[in-house]
Structure 1
Amino acid sequence: MSINEALLVKAEQLIPSMIETRVEPVRLVDVHEDAQAVQGWSARAAGDAGAIKTGAYGKGDSFVLDFGDHLVGYLRMSVRPVGSPPDAPLRLKLIFGETPCEIGEPFESYNGWLSSSWLQEEILTVDVLPAELRLPRRYCFRYVKVAVVDTSPKYKVSFPDVYCIAVTSGDPSNIRPLPEHYPEDIAAMDRIGIKTLQDCMQTVFEDGPKRDRRLWIGDLRLQALANYETFRNDDLVKRCLYLFGSLLLEDGAVGACIFEKPAPHVDDTRLYDYSLFFVPTLLDYVEATNDRQTLEELWPVARSQLEIGLRRLDERGVVRDDATWWCFIDWHEELNKQAPAQAVLLYCLKRGLKLARKMRDGAAEAWIAAGIDEVTRATLAHLWDEERGFFVSGERRQVSWASQIWMVLAEVFGPEDNAKLLRRLAEEPEAVPMTTPYMYHHYIEALIASGEPEVALKQMRRYWGGMVEDGADTFWELYNPDDKRMSPYGSFLINSYCHAWSCTPTYFIRKHFKDMF
């Protein structure tokens, strides 16, 4: 790891103050199996949340609290003995769920490849009652199941006070309300997108407050776009940029993600596309803020990402496709990533050229412009299949949605030809599909860039609107309308149901669709 201490100091000076809000549960619910629900479980009303204040719960009893909306924060609870003086410790099991499936599905059934320690549960042993319990770990939830594992035959317990201290660095008072005439479904997507972003805004822009809880640059780029249209916490974007710029991999590449604790450090995960995305993220920030100082201090980092990215080209000028690299693009096992990676490189080179011009860096302008020409020529010569009418990827010349979308965003062709390409893509049944809101975001952007805003709006309503119809309080890490239990991790229990890269409907609504209603 390479550390720039001066930049790191600036990042740490930008740690935001947290906004704390006390939130109490709104009702008791019964979580039951439901074949019509997305993950097979639903919650139905089962009583007033105030019942736990005067109830008496003994060994084997349990209840599920519904807080009414998605929360990120710290649980507090008062526990009082009922009956004889306690003659044995109280043992409680708490299970936290963003969705009903995490409450209903037994965690013992989990068989995914991500660590089961991300599953949100706690065993508490309380020696002295009454007690005020303050769970030190931050949780991400709407539902909490409280199960009494054991007391003794002589006493039971009640819960006079249960609440959450919700935390975020996103101040909702900064958000302009939508015009009242906007359609109800658009207002709902805007609200849920904002809530998704808000719950991911902690001391950095986290990717998911339940799982990972890290600063990933692919998520940051999209969160920042939504932030400029809503919370305007631009210093949080700046902090994240300085963290990435100060904590580099050994060869100077920007790492895919950053850990904050115990001290800021870069993960050893390297993603080809994510390193390059430092460039457009910096450009977006500078265009939103006119912050010249940050541009000057981070331009060397951005320039280096383009230099490193160009080193991956083979003798033809095409990104080498072998086992020595990892590129994200989208979660799909069958997706070949050579063509989309080529397009991402071209996309970032073009944005790097804008930064070089802002910096009046003539030497960088020259080699970046030459790189754009080289990559464009190679793309058309080796990745464009004229007969099929698509860009192809890898030895098997795969056609995918990701390849076409990124080539549109890279502007290999003009808007009219790009629109035709996307229309052909929609009629191509053999193309490898998209699987994440992250990739769908880029599809919407590609449609807008191709002069098809009406189609883009329709697709946003179909995809994110589907999540709303399926009960989303915040937008999810994964959503496949054709396979709603899908998980790249082997179990939908570990999926994140509040995920940064899913927040962008609010960005589209407020920036691109505002004149369409």
Structure 2
Amino acid sequence: MSNSIPVPQTSTTTIVRNETFIHKATDLKPHLNTSTVQPQQMVEVLQDTNAMHGWLALPLHSAVSSSEQHYGKGDEFILDFGMHQVGYLSFSVSPVGSPPDAPLHLKLTFGEMPVEVGEPFANYTGWISSSWLQQETLYVDVLPDVIRLPRRYSFRYVKFEIIDTSQKYRVAFDNIQIQTVTSGDASRIVPLEHPDPLLQDIDQVSIRTLQNCMQEVFEDGPKRDRRLWLGDLRLQALANYETFGNNDLVKHCLYLFAGVPNHQGQVAANLFITPTLIPDDTYLFDYSLLFTVSLYDYYEATQDSGTLQELWPTAYRQVELALERLNEQHLPPHSDEWWSFIDWQEELDKQAPSQAILIYTLKRTIRLAEQVDPDKLPFLNQRLEDVTTATLAQLWDEEQGFFVSGPNLQISWAGQIWMALAEVLDAEQNAALMQRLLSEQPDIGLTTPYMHHYLVEALLITGDRDGAVKHLKSYWGGMLRDGADTFWELYDPHNKSFSPYGSYLINSYCHAWSCTPTYLIRKYKL
């Protein structure tokens, strides 16, 4: 990606608050489960060109009892909590030597990956705010003291730097621990005993990724954005149905989105939850449609007809708005705006994959209408026919055997994957499309686990079970080999430094849209 900020679909808009829906969402606010976790060891973080982002954490010794070690100005140490954690850090600090005659000046740096406690944050050159980089500077005036950080952090490693004490005293630390928080109850998960140890490991890391993103809402990432995004919600909900079964959390999130549409009835791409419910001013073609898809998935998982009845008008409205955006050829007009997400791929033309997502959504909307609003079926069936016919006539290139997109007739992985998922072609052609994609490998590829999920699912629905398993093990297994203990927001095996934000320091290394292997493994019995 370029280092410029994407231009969102924003406008002067009025939010129409549905207080009934907001009240229902509030009633469904989840309980947070807590546990206390202590660091496992002290580590040294060293530069290593063979390690992810060039940094490797090597164990020094046990960190269970660190109070016997004393630290003065310029000293530092790094603790490893053994695996990724989300919660609130606390510790005791005591003076050693003469009575403290000056405050303790302490800096704490938190890292999901070794690079974050190895590479100075002063090197950060990304275009999104550096305030997402996880660090604290403390002045402790009275010693001894017990420090409880009020801010929630997402990390495995924490670096303590003693900026200054005085010449007369040093400090010792004890009772260092984190109170973890999550709304995911691990006791509800049915253990998976998989004969393939790699798939077993991938399943477990997927679950931990999901669990650490399950807070008061399904957050996209507990380090950075810490928000409820629709694209992430859809995938988290699928994984949740196969693992934690916290279906009320899905329902909570759906009602939150439905509670604050704009004056046109469109749901925002993401929501801020505190200090009050506020929709972001970003509206995306594909994400709004995924609200409808998410309601369909929820109904399939729960058969909750009451929620379907209440949220159906909001879901239907997203489809109406998407259809209104189409031009006279029944296609989304080409646009250089950030009007549809699809993937963090700078060169991707969004027309074909967005059209496919519309078809994918229309088919599911028809199934919902059969349950709650059959009067809408003639309209929906006609529009599905119009859009599908236009897609085959204008986007399908018979000679090349691929769907094309935009004025340059671009062939992309995302376009073929979403067309396969939408089942625009018949079953035999659909399977051939996916095999041709794997064989010819167009230049406009995939950059996120979000789209790699849809690649695996497209292979599964077109009958290539072996190809799906191979890719799942290669891609998510690659993250494991590169040090993941939760799955990441971004992973390009061919460019491991990739960041759409201008710096891998700001990337999220526990990210919601990466959690779906547990869904794929369990749902499809891989």
User: Scaled by the length of structure 1, what TM-score is found?
Assistant: 0.98
Q: Secondary structure at the match of 1:3?
A: coil
Report how far residue 324 of structure 1 moved.
5.5
User: Which of 200, 225, 228 is the matching residue for 2:238?
Assistant: 225
* Residues in 2 aligned to 1:113 and 1:225: alpha-carbon distance in whole angstroms: 32
Decide which moves more: 491-500 or 46-55: 46-55
Q: Among residues 363, 380, 399, which one is paired with 2:411 in the alignment?
A: 399
Matching residue of 2:394 = 382
What secondary structure does 2:35 align onto? strand
Q: Which residue of 2 aligns with 1:354?
A: 367
**Cα distance, 1:429 vs structure 2:** 4.2
The alignment partner of 2:415 has SS state of helix
Structure 1 counterpart of 2:257, from 244, 265, 289: 244
Tell me the alpha carbon deviations over residues 91-111 of structure 1, each in whole angstroms, 9 at most, x when there is no partner: 100000000000001100000
Report what 1:53 is aligned to.
67
Residues 425, 431 of structure 1: 8 Å contact kept? no
Give the count of matched residue pairs: 512
In 1: Cα distance, 2:487 partner to 2:441 partner: 27
Over the aligned positions, Cα root-mean-square deviation in angstroms equals 0.9
Structure 1 pair 325–73 and aligned structure 2 pair: CA distance change class (3 A): closer
Q: 1:384 corresponds to which letter in structure 2?
A: W
Is the Cα–Cα contact under 8 Å of residues 28 and 47 in structure 1 kept in the other structure?
yes
| Other-structure match for 2:295 | 282
In the alignment, what sits opposite 1:481? Answer: 493
| Residue 201 of structure 2: aligned partner | 188
CA contact (8 A) 1:194 1:506 kept: yes
State the 1:323 CA deviation.
4.2
Alignment of 1:133-152 (within 5 A): 133-152=147-166
Q: Secondary structure at the match of 1:277?
A: helix
**Per the alignment, in what secondary structure is the counterpart of residue 293 of structure 2?**
helix
1:368 alignment partner in structure 2:
380
Cα deviation for residue 510 of structure 1 reads 0.7
- The residue that corresponds to 2:116 in the other structure is 102
Give secondary structure in 1 for the equivalent of 2:495: coil
2:187 to 173, 181, 189: 173
Q: Percent identity?
A: 57
Per-residue CA deviations over 1:96-133 (Å, capped at 9, x if unaligned) read 00000000011000000110000000000000000000
What residue is the counterpart of 1:412 in the other structure? 424
Deviation of 1:381 (Å): 0.7
- Measured after TM superposition, the shift of residue 463 of structure 1 is 0.5
Cα-to-partner distance string for 1:416-455 (whole Å, 9 max, x where unaligned): 2111111111222443101100000000110111011111
User: Which one of 474, 492, 495 corresponds to residue 507 of structure 2?
Assistant: 495
| One-letter identity of the residue aligned with 1:405 | I
| Counterpart among 43, 50, 75 of residue 36 in structure 1 | 50
1:146 alignment partner, SS class: strand
Q: Which is worse superposed, 47-56 or 13-22?
A: 47-56
SS state of the match for residue 67, structure 2?
helix
Secondary structure (helix, strand or coil) at the match of 2:256 reads: helix
Shift of 1:176: 0.3
SS of the aligned residue for 1:286 comes to: helix
**In 2, distance between residues paired with 1:99 and 1:481?**
17
Q: Deviations over 1:371-400 (max 9, x none)?
A: 100100000111011111110000000000
Q: Which residue pairs with 2:21 in the alignment?
A: 7
Matched, 1:23 2:30: no
Given that 2:65 and 2:174 are in contact with CA atoms closer than 8 Å, whether structure 1 keeps it comes out as: no
DSSP 3-state at the match of 2:92: strand
Instruction: Output the amino acid matched with 1:366.
Output: P
CA distance in 2, matches of 1:387, 1:400: 16
> What are the ranges of 5 or more consecutive residues in structure 2 without an aligned counterpart?
1-14
TM-score by length of 2: 0.96
Q: Show the counterpart of 2:11.
A: none
Counterpart in the other structure of 2:6: none
Partners of 1:415 and 1:451 within 8 A in 2: no
Give the Cα separation in 1 of the matches to 2:426 and 2:45.
52
1:145-190 per-position Cα deviation (integer Å, ceiling 9, x unaligned)? 00000000000000021000000000000000012x5211011000
The 8 Å contact of residues 224 and 508 in structure 2, kept in 1 or not, is answered as yes
Aligned equivalent of 2:345: 332
Question: Do 2:28 and 2:249's aligned partners in 1 also have CA atoms closer than 8 Å?
Answer: yes
CA distance in 1, matches of 2:323, 2:336: 18
Contact 2:413 2:442 in 1 (8 A): no
2:440 counterpart SS class: coil
Counterpart check, 1:441 vs 2:453: yes
> Which residue number corresponds to residue 273 of structure 1?
286
User: How far has the Cα of 1:249 moved from its partner?
Assistant: 2.0
The Cα offsets for residues 299-348 of structure 1, whole Å up to 9 and x where unpaired, read as: 00000000000011111111111246610000011000000000001100
Distance in 1, Cα, partners of 2:108 & 2:261? 39
* Structure 1 position 51, deviation (Å): 4.8
Residues 455-490 of structure 1: per-residue CA shift (max 9 Å, x gap)? 111110110011111110000000001011110100
Give a deviation string over 1:231-287, Cα, whole Å, max 9, x none: 000000000000011111221111000110110111001111000001110011011
Letter in 2 for 1:419: A
Counterpart-to-counterpart distance in 2, 1:152 and 1:440: 53
| Contact 2:260–2:279, Cα closer than 8 Å, also in 1 | yes
**Other-structure match for 1:216:** 229
Give the match's secondary structure for 1:52.
coil
Residue 444 of structure 2 is aligned to residue 432 of structure 1 = yes
Deviations 1:33-77 (A, max 9, x none): 010011110100111203521111000000000000100000001
Residue 197, structure 1, aligned to residue 210, structure 2: yes
Q: 1:365 is aligned with what amino acid?
A: L
Hey, what's the Cα distance between the residues in 1 that align with 2:441 and 2:402? 13
Question: In the alignment, residue 288 of structure 2 is paired with which amino acid?
Answer: S
Q: CA deviation at 1:219?
A: 0.2
Aligned equivalents of 1:313, 1:32: Cα separation in 2: 54
Residues 48 and 56 of structure 2 are in contact (CA less than 8 Å); yes or no, is this contact kept in structure 1? yes
Q: Following the alignment from structure 1 to structure 2, what is the Cα–Cα distance between the partners of residues 339 and 128?
A: 63
Cα distance in 1 between the residues matched to 2:150 and 2:261: 31
